[in-house]
Amino acid sequence: KNEVEQSPQNLTAQEGEFITINCSYSVGISALHWLQQHPGGGIVSLFMLSSGKKKHGRLIATINIQEKHSSLHITASHPRDSAVYICAVISQGAQKLVFGQGTRLTINP
């Protein structure tokens, strides 16, 4: 079993829908990252969080340390949100990122 599991692996939705991508991990962590990989391949860091919730525009990331779970939400989704979203965690004491396999999101107009 991978240390970081994302669900769903693929998600297709219509423009305007509320999107949720989930990330579960099996180890104690010191931080969690959400990344976005564009269709052209470039990777951008969206959030780094170790507790609670962060918001940036239409994107919201939450984390529940006790349940070892994080979610990435997109409100009022748009075709330009189509990308692969990647969750990555840093194990306590390890100081190295462990990546999930990514969730491919497609938003249709």
Which of 103, 106, 104, 107 is closest to 6 using CA atoms?
A: 103
Nearer to another protein, 50 or 64 (CB): 50
**Cis, bond preceding 39 (omega within 30 deg of 0):** no
Nearer to another protein, 57 or 109 (CB): 57
Task: Give the containing element (helix H, strand E) for 97.
Answer: strand 97-99
Decide if residue 4 touches another protein (CB under 8 A).
yes
Decide if residue 99 touches another protein (CB under 8 A).
yes
Token pair belonging to 41: 């391949």
Determine the interface stretch with another protein among 11-19, 57-65, 74-82, 88-96 (rule: CB under 8 A): 88-96
Nearer to another protein, 77 or 90 (CB): 90
Decide if residue 49 touches another protein (CB under 8 A).
no
Q: Choose, by CB under 8 A, the member of 45, 51, 106, 108 that binds another protein.
A: 45
The dihedral built from the CA positions of residue 107, 45, 73 and 6, taken in this order, carries a sign that is positive
